[in-house]
């Protein structure tokens, strides 16, 4: 800028300061401020050339670069907030569309005996007794007030009715992708039969107990007390987890993500060529601000627990779902991450969260409130009830007891 404008800017600065002191000149002050900002901000710094000014300039340039870099994230959040209407969960309203979606393929023709026979799995007794017990807990509660019906419930991890082979089969599964017709039901692990790790030798289960203990842990680890680090602990049930583990090895101050052993572990090769890490309890996850969720063989049971820490959940991939996933909205309740995100994309997203602490806290709280308010044990039971009632109306034949059936009865107290 020329000497003339230097002088002009200096003059403006003097006027501006004077007007700030004498607030009676408010409208002039406003006019001059506009001139100042538009033409003289940079110039003023070079006139004064104080250390403070240089630092402020550096911070401003840094903020500008960050703002530009993060524009896509701000835009995504703004759009999500504009379109977001919180669901009303009176009468299980948040999840009614899930039932409509899953039963739609059977709506037109109904479900006849032949379809049930085709869908039937071949075992007479349960393949995973504790998984079955985790389902029976809900069914036995509801059975006295339900019409008779045949149900084919899959207790394997993987869904069974592929859209690429044959007709839709009415098979209930806890998790699926859009490539499957399976009807999603609340996983056994809400009650029992979840993965057994050394910290939870009887299997991850008792969602009611985890809710209480995680809520307590989250109160002891308020947002301000949490460590600004991304965290993941789990076994290598899917290689989609590798990039975060590798980033953690490179930048341990930014990410602590390590593989633990599972029952299939044989050597360090199974923990991506590093010794297995010790397991970390779900409560201890609450110490960290950013928690990563990945699919495993199917959806991972860790998902719902992470939110209760009041930490910000980074949910990777959008294919594998449980019954409640689709009611949660990306950028409203969690940070969505592509399953193909490489290390630099992961790093960028974590840095975005660090540099936008208030936004991160807001999303973390909304995610927590969603799970806390809408995924109580009573909501899970209600979902089962609505699902079974709607399903039973689709059966086009009268159910009859067969000689092969085993009677299931309530075991002990619950």
Q: Which is nearer to ligand UDP, 134 or 195 (CB)?
A: 195
Per the document, the length of the chain is 414
The reply to whether 157 sits near ligand UDP by the rule CB under 6 A is no
Distance CA 135, CA 129 (A): 10
Select the residue interacting with ligand UDP from 154, 161, 184, 237 (CB under 6 A). Answer: 237
State the catalytic residue, choosing from 17, 114, 150, 157: 157
**Only segment of 113-121, 230-238, 316-324, 327-335 that touches ligand UDP (CB under 6 A):** 230-238
Question: Can you read off the two tokens belonging to residue 367?
Answer: 């995610």
User: CA nearest 324: which of 202, 190, 203, 160?
Assistant: 190
Q: Which is nearer to ligand UDP, 316 or 395 (CB)?
A: 316
Which residues are CB-neighbours of 367 under 8 A, at least 6 positions away?
307, 312, 313, 328, 333, 334
Select the residue interacting with ligand UDP from 137, 210, 226, 302 (CB under 6 A). Answer: 302
Residues 255-294 that bind ligand UDP (CB under 6 A): 260, 262, 279-280, 282
Q: Report the residue closest to ligand UDP, judged by CB.
A: 296
Q: Which is nearer to ligand UDP, 89 or 235 (CB)?
A: 235
Least separation in angstroms between residue 107's CB and ligand UDP is 33
Distance CA 148, CA 150 (A): 7
Least separation in angstroms between residue 305's CB and ligand UDP is 6
Least separation in angstroms between residue 412's CB and ligand UDP is 25
The reply to whether 235 sits near ligand UDP by the rule CB under 6 A is yes
Q: For residue 350, how far is the Cα from the chain centroid?
A: 15
Select the residue interacting with ligand UDP from 197, 221, 312, 328 (CB under 6 A). Answer: 197
Q: Tell me the site size for ligand UDP, rule CB under 6 A.
A: 19
Select the residue interacting with ligand UDP from 234, 317, 336, 367 (CB under 6 A). Answer: 234
Q: Which is nearer to ligand UDP, 1 or 297 (CB)?
A: 297
**Only segment of 3-11, 125-133, 137-145, 232-240 that touches ligand UDP (CB under 6 A):** 232-240
State yes or no: is 102 an active-site residue.
no
Distance CA 151, CA 402 (A): 13
The reply to whether 296 sits near ligand UDP by the rule CB under 6 A is yes
The reply to whether 203 sits near ligand UDP by the rule CB under 6 A is no
The reply to whether 207 sits near ligand UDP by the rule CB under 6 A is no
The reply to whether 300 sits near ligand UDP by the rule CB under 6 A is yes
**Only segment of 97-105, 197-205, 383-391, 399-407 that touches ligand UDP (CB under 6 A):** 197-205
Residues 321-380 that bind ligand UDP (CB under 6 A): none
Contact 276, 259 (CB under 8 A): yes
Which residues are CB-neighbours of 167 under 8 A, at least 6 positions away?
115, 118
Sheet holding 152-153, edge to edge: 152-153, 171-173, 183-184
Least separation in angstroms between residue 44's CB and ligand UDP is 55
Q: Which is nearer to ligand UDP, 248 or 260 (CB)?
A: 260
Maximum distance among all Cα pairs of the chain, rounded to whole angstroms: 102
Catalytic residue IDs? 157
Residues that bind ligand UDP (CB under 6 A): 195, 197, 199, 204, 233-235, 237, 260, 262, 279-280, 282, 296-297, 300-302, 305
């Amino acid at each position: 800028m020329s000497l003339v404008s230097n002088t002009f800017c200096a003059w403006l600065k003097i006027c501006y300061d004077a007007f700030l002191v004498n607030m009676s000149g408010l409208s002039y002050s406003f006019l001059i401020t506009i001139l100042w900002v538009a033409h003289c901000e940079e110039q003023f710094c070079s006139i004064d050339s104080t250390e403070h000014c240089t630092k402020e300039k550096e911070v401003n340039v840094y903020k500008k670069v960050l703002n530009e870099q993060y524009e896509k994230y701000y835009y995504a959040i703004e759009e999500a907030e504009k379109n977001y209407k919180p669901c009303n969960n009176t009468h299980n309203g948040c999840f009614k569309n899930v039932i409509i979606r899953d039963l739609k393929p059977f709506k037109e023709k109904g479900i006849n005996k032949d379809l049930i026979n085709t869908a039937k799995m071949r075992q007479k007794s349960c393949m995973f007794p504790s998984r079955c017990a985790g389902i029976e807990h809900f069914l036995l509660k509801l059975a006295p007030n339900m019409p008779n019906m045949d149900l084919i419930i899959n207790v394997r991890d993987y869904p069974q009715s592929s859209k690429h082979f044959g007709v839709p089969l009415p098979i209930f599964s806890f998790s699926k992708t859009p490539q499957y017709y399976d009807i999603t039901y609340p996983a056994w692990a809400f009650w029992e039969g979840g993965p057994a790790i050394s910290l939870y030798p009887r299997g991850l289960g008792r969602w009611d107990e985890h809710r209480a203990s995680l809520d307590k842990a989250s109160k002891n680890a308020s947002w301000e007390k949490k460590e600004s680090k991304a965290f993941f602990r789990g076994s290598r049930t899917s290689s989609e987890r590798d990039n975060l583990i590798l980033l953690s090895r490179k930048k341990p101050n930014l990410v602590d993500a390590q593989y633990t052993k599972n029952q299939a572990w044989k050597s360090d090769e199974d923990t991506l060529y590093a010794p297995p890490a010790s397991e970390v309890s779900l409560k201890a996850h609450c110490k960290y601000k950013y928690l990563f969720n990945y699919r495993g063989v199917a959806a991972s049971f860790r998902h719902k627990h992470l939110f209760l820490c009041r930490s910000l959940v980074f949910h990777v991939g959008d294919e594998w779902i449980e019954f409640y996933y689709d009611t949660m909205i990306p950028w409203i309740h969690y940070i969505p991450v592509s399953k193909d995100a490489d290390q630099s994309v992961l790093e960028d997203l974590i840095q975005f969260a660090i540099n936008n602490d208030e936004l991160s806290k807001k999303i973390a709280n909304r995610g927590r409130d969603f799970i806390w308010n809408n995924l109580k044990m009573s909501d899970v039971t209600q979902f089962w009830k609505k699902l079974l009632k709607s399903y039973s109306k689709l059966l086009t034949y009268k159910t009859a007891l067969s000689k092969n059936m085993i009677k299931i009865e309530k075991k002990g107290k619950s």
